[in-house]
Structures are given as structure tokens and as C-alpha cells.
Amino acid sequence: MEAEILALEGVVGGYGKLTVLNGTTFKVARDTITTVIGPNGAGKSTLFKAVFGLLPVQRGRIVFDGADITNLDPHALLERGITYVPQGRNVFPELSVLHNLELGMTAAGPGAPVAARIQSVMQRFPMLREKARAQASTLSGGQQKLLEIARALLLEPRLMLIDEPSIGLSPRLVQEVFRILQDLRSRGVSILMIEQNAKRALEISDFGVVLELGATRMQGAARDLLVDPRVGQLFLGGGTL
Amino acid sequence: MMKKLAILVAAVALIAAPFGLKPYGIYLLSLWAVMTIAAIGLNLTLGYAGQISLAQGSFVGIGAYIAALLTTQGWPLGLAFAAAIVLCFAIGWLLGYPALRVAHHYLAFVTLSFATLVFLVLRNEEWLTKGVYGISGIPRPTLAGWSTKAPLDFYFFCLLILALVAAAAGWMIRSPWGRAFTALRENPIRASSLGVDTRRYTLMAFAIGSALGGIAGVLYAPLVQFIEPTAFALGLSLNLLLMVIVGGAGRFFGPFLGAAVSVLLPEWLRFSEGLYLMLYAVFVMLLLAFCPSGLLGLGARARKSWKPSSKSAN
């Protein structure tokens, strides 16, 4: 078994002729939280879309668990154990909490233990059981984020891509979401996260990747990046984070 | 529980309704049933899957011409149903391809041009469709000894098909398919990030909706017993769109109400003689201005103002 669960090798991709990723290269170690940071427009969200097959990769390779997954579609990636929680609100507001969860099992195919999996995530997040019949739009922002994370866990992924989980949440809820991510790591889910809130994200991460103009500018242990003056310069124009 | 009771009452009312009505009244009820089937189809495409179509009337036309051509040659109506379902499904599937590239107004224009194309084929290809002369003498079917020749019998035949279509559509909406359609309507990117094959569901939404349009057409031909191209021009498609929106797009019973408004209301307003179309237009404008979610949306809004929702802050 390889030490890394995901590896990007010189990935080039973007929107038509406009390339946003210009040879992005880094690795995500197994059972860790790795955070991608970088200024606006660095290509962080584009990077996730490229990994998750929502945007074509023009050159380079993406390797998951030893197998080439470049340009596979989301359905195939979900089957292999990658899940993606996009930025912002991602629940279907007009559907009930339960139906939102059922949609998370779409890629599981017929004969999958849908009810059992839903029961098990509800055990983990009891709020979802209480609100199972409620329309998702009636949940608070934090509850909706929990629903999204729960939905992403239904397929028992080994790697979760999570884009800006803290956006729009109060500091207390951010703390809760981060605690859930740390808990997932201890259960064998590797996490690749994008965060604007670089300092707080790096504090709970094992590794960090700094992306600038679609290329990897720096990578290393999260605690080293936290005190690296170059990182501080990138974000704050001097000092450390 | 209340809902089941309401459905039961409505079913009894529909069965009792034609007794005591003159043939024209029964004809209108039958037309309502036929239009409801077509509107249920459009509601799947537009209301649930969120793909606008201005071509639903064309599928009614395709179904009607299939029924007229086959049954006037002595073929059974059952064969016309099968042929219309297969053909409309296939054409609907193809019409779905533009929807993979364009959305909203642009999709409306693509489907609009398809509607025009179908109308021109029906009018110009005289060797097949008899063009503007139309096809007359379309027979009504006999099922296992039950002749549907009389208006009352044919109404019950339409009602039976409507019940079957409604049951099938209801089953589909409750299935994971229905959920995938709703997910597609609300946000295609979110849906695809969960592994929903948005491409396949978009095409399916068009294909299934169109097949239901075809079924309605197969009933329309023997109902009216004479068809000609202008009945299936853009006007019908717009009317079906109106039914779905007035009833409440994305709500199961929307098409039933919408079709009632569109088919029956103009008749009830006939007392006003020359003014009835104007009154009808004003009613529709007021409804859409004050309740864009349709008649069923009106009910939901009333319930909401009764008990405020428990929306909590972050």
C-alpha cells in the first residue's frame, strides 16, 4: 500500500483555453487532513473540480490509491471511495432531510443497504433523525452543513474533498465542523480541504499546500507553514499567520 | 389521511360528474382528462426536472396522427398506444440533447422551433397526413366487448387511462428517480457531485414527458374524431404550459387543476358572451401576478401563514 492516497502530477486544466491549473503537483498522505490554501483565484476550487471529474484535465495525472483516475466521471469516483462537498450550501432545499440523504446513495447502485447506511449516519448525527421529515430549507446553516457532510459519508468514502466548510458559519459551528473532520480522520477517512480561514484550518491539519496561480508554491507540515513568514506574506503582506 | 380522503372524493366526483350532462359537457370532461395526461407529462419535464418545453403540444399531435392513421386503417387503438409511446419517447429523447447544452429561454426557443417543425410536417406532408384537409372518421375503440362509441363510455375510457398514467407518474415521482429529477431541477452541479447522471436524467425527463404527450394524443384523436394540423400548433403547447404553471409546477395535482382551469373555466365564463376570453385572460394574469407558484401554491401559502415555519438562525 502506498503512503499517499491521492497524488497530483503536473495537472493542467481549466475552462476551455483558459488554464487555471498550471502543472499542480502534490500528494495527500493517507489518514491525514491536508489543507490547500492560497489567495483568491489561485485555482483551489478548480483543483477540486478537476480531481472530481467535473472539469477536464488537459495534461498530467491524478492517482488515487495507486490507480490512475484522471478524467473519470463523478459517479465512478464515488464508487472508488472519493466524495466531494462543494463550497457553500449544497442541500436540495425543497426535499426532506431523508430524501437528501437518499440522494447521497445514488452512486451505490441497486441492492445497496440504503436504509442501514442512513440509520448509521443518523446515529452519528442525531439531529438528522429528529429532522428527517423536515424540508432541508428549514435547517439552520450549520445543520445544513452537517447534512452535507453526513450525506457525503453514506458511501463510506476513503477520501473527502471539502471546499470551504467554514463559509457562512459562526465560529462555534466552524469549531464543530473541524472537530467532525478530525474525528473522520481517526476513522480512516483522509481529508483534502480548501479553507480561506488558513490559520484555523492549518491548526487542525497535518499537511498544507500553498497554491498560487494554479501551481504548487509550497507544501509541507501544517505546523511549519503556520510559522513560515512566506505564507504570512502571501496572505497578510508580512509576518506569520 | 386528509389527502387520501380528498383523492377518494375527487375520484367519486369524476365518476358521478358526467351523469346528467349533455354530450358537450361530457366531451369537455373527456378533453379535460386528455389534457391532464399531456400536462402530467409536461409537469415531469418542466415541474420536476426543470426543463422548459414549448413542444408538448407537438407530441400530442404526433400521438393523435399515429392513432388516426392506424385506426382508420383498421389497426387497434392498443397498437397506436404502443407506437406513440415508443416514437414519442425516442423523439423526446433526441429533443433532450439540446437541453444538455442550453437552458431556460434558449431551451424554450429550441423546443419552439421543434414545435414549428412538427406543425409544418403535419401540414405539408400531404401524402401521409392529408395536410390541411385533416383526417376524419376516426373510430372509437371497443375493449373486450365494451364499445366506447357513446360519449359517456369514451369518457370512462379516458378516465381509466388518466388513472393509469397518474398512478405510474405518482410511483415514479416517489421513487429515487423522482428525487433525482428534483435534484436536477434545483441544482444540476450539486446533483452531479452526488453521482446523479444529470445527462441521462435530462434526456429521460424529456423522453418520459413526451411519451405521456403521445398517450394524450392517442386519446385525443378518437375523442374529437377529426384532426387537422392547426390543433397541434404552438397554441396547444402554450396552453399546456399554462396548465402546468397555473396548477402549480412541480406539484403532483397541479396538472389536474391547471387543465380544469384551461378547459372548463372558459366554458363557465360563456355567460358573459363576448367577454369570456377577456375575463379568462384577466383571471390568469391576476393568478400569476399574485401567486406565481400556481393554484396549489396558493394553498401551501395559506397554510404557511397559519403556522409560521420553524426557521432558526445559524
* The pLDDT of residue B197 is above 50: yes
Q: Is B103 helix (H, G, I), strand (E, B) or coil?
A: coil
Instruction: List the single range of A150-154, B193-197, B232-236, B284-288 with lowest mean pLDDT.
Output: B284-288
User: What CA–CA distance (Å, rounded) separates A80 from A156?
Assistant: 10
Q: What is the pLDDT of residue B32?
A: 97
Per-residue confidence (pLDDT) for residue A236, from 0 to 100: 57
Q: Where are the domains of chain B?
A: 23-313
Taking only the tens place, the pLDDT of each residue in A90-127 is 999 989 999 999 999 988 878 889 999 999 999 999 99
Of B73, B71, B58, the C-alpha closest to B209 is: B58
> Looking at the partner chain, which of A94, A104, A142 has a beta carbon nearest the beta carbon of B194?
A104
Instruction: Give the CA angle between residues A52, B188, A160 to the nearest 5°.
Output: 30
Count the residues in chain B.
314
Residues of A in contact with B179 (CB under 8 A): 95, 99, 102-103
CA A81 – CA B72 distance, rounded (Å): 58
Query: pLDDT (tens digit, 9 = 90+) per residue, B70-104?
Result: 999 999 999 999 999 999 999 999 999 988 888 78
Does residue B278 or residue B43 have the better pLDDT? B43
Give chain A positions within 8 Å (CB) of B195: 74-75, 78-79, 106-107
Based on its alpha-carbon atoms, the radius of gyration of chain B, rounded to whole angstroms, reads 20
C-beta atoms of A93 and B186 within 8 A: yes
Q: Contact B190/A86, CB-based, under 8 Å?
A: yes
Domain B23-313 belongs in CATH node 3.40.50: no
What is the least distance, in Å, from the CA of B250 to any CA of chain A? 11
Distances (CA, A) of B21 to B28, B259, B268, B290: 10, 19, 14, 34
Q: How far is CA B16 from CA A87, B38, B90, in A?
A: 55, 23, 38
Spell out the residues 6+ positions from residue A113 whose beta carbon is closer than 8 angstroms to its own.
Answer: none
Separation CA A38–CA A217 (nearest Å): 9
At residue A1 the predicted structure's pLDDT band, cuts being 50, 70 and 90, is: low
Name the average pLDDT for chain B. 91
Q: Is A23 exposed, middle or buried (0-12, 13-18, 19+ CB in 10 A)?
A: middle
Grid coordinates representing B51 are 426543463
Residue B130 has pLDDT above 70, yes or no: yes
Q: Do A52 and B182 touch (CB under 8 A)?
A: no
pLDDT over 90 percentage in chain B: 68
Q: How many degrees, rounded to 5, is the angle at CA B299 between CA B295 and CA B305? A: 135
Distances (CA, A) of B115 to A51, A52, B53, B63, B85: 41, 38, 9, 14, 18
Secondary structure of residue A217 in the 3-state scheme: strand
- Residues of chain A with C-beta less than 8 angstroms from the C-beta of B190: 86, 90, 92
> pLDDT of A14-64, one tens digit each?
888 889 999 999 999 999 999 999 888 889 999 999 999 999 999 999 999
Look at residue B276 in the predicted model and tell me its pLDDT: 77
Is pLDDT above 70 for B34? yes
φ/ψ of residue B135, rounded to 5: -120, 125
Write the pLDDT tens digit of every residue in A205-216.
Answer: 999 999 998 999
Quote the pLDDT of residue A10: 94
- Is the CB of A95 inside 8 Å of chain B's CB atoms? yes
What whole-number distance in Å separates Cα of residue B28 and Cα of residue B40?
A: 18
CB B88 within 8 A of CB B210: yes
Q: Which own/partner pairs from B14-23 qualify as long-range (CB within 8 Å, at least 24 positions apart)? A: B14/B159, B15/B156, B15/B159, B18/B151, B18/B152, B18/B155, B19/B152, B23/B151
Distance CA A212, CA A22 (A): 10
Q: Which residue has the higher pLDDT, A109 or B122?
A: B122
Q: Does B147 touch chain A (CB under 8 A)?
A: no
Give the whole-angstrom CA distance, residue B245 versus residue B237: 12
CA B251 to each of CA A31, A142, B107, B246, B296: distance values in angstroms, whole numbers, following the listed order: 45, 29, 22, 11, 7
Interface ipTM above 0.85: no
pLDDT for residue B290: 84
> What 8-state DSSP symbol labels residue A221?
E
Task: Inform me whether the pLDDT recorded for A238 exceeds 80.
Answer: no
pLDDT of residue B312: 42
**Chain B residues near residue A170 by CB distance under 8 angstroms:** 314
B265 alpha-carbon distance from chain centroid: 17
Q: What is the pLDDT of residue B308?
A: 52
Asked if residue B271 has pLDDT above 70, the reply is: yes
From the candidate CATH numbers 3.10.20.740, 3.90.79.10, 3.40.50.300, 3.10.180.10, the one assigned to the domain spanning A4-90+156-236: 3.40.50.300
Q: Which residues sit opposite A68 in a β-bridge?
A: A63
Q: Which residue has the higher pLDDT, B207 or B265?
A: B207
Distance from CA of B189 to the nearest CA of A (A): 9
Q: Does the structure show a pLDDT above 60 at B309?
A: no
pTM of the model: 0.83
Who has greater pLDDT, A214 or A234?
Answer: A214
Average pLDDT over residues B267-271: 82
What was the pLDDT predicted at A104? 93
pLDDT digits (tens, 9 = 90+) for B131-173: 999 999 999 998 888 999 999 999 999 999 999 999 999 999 9
pLDDT classification of B285: cutoffs 50, 70, 90? confident
Task: Tell me what the mean pLDDT of segment A182-194 comes to.
Answer: 95
pLDDT surpassing 50 at residue B311: no
| Average pLDDT value over all residues in chain A | 91
Task: Report residue B199 as a C-alpha cell.
Answer: 445527462
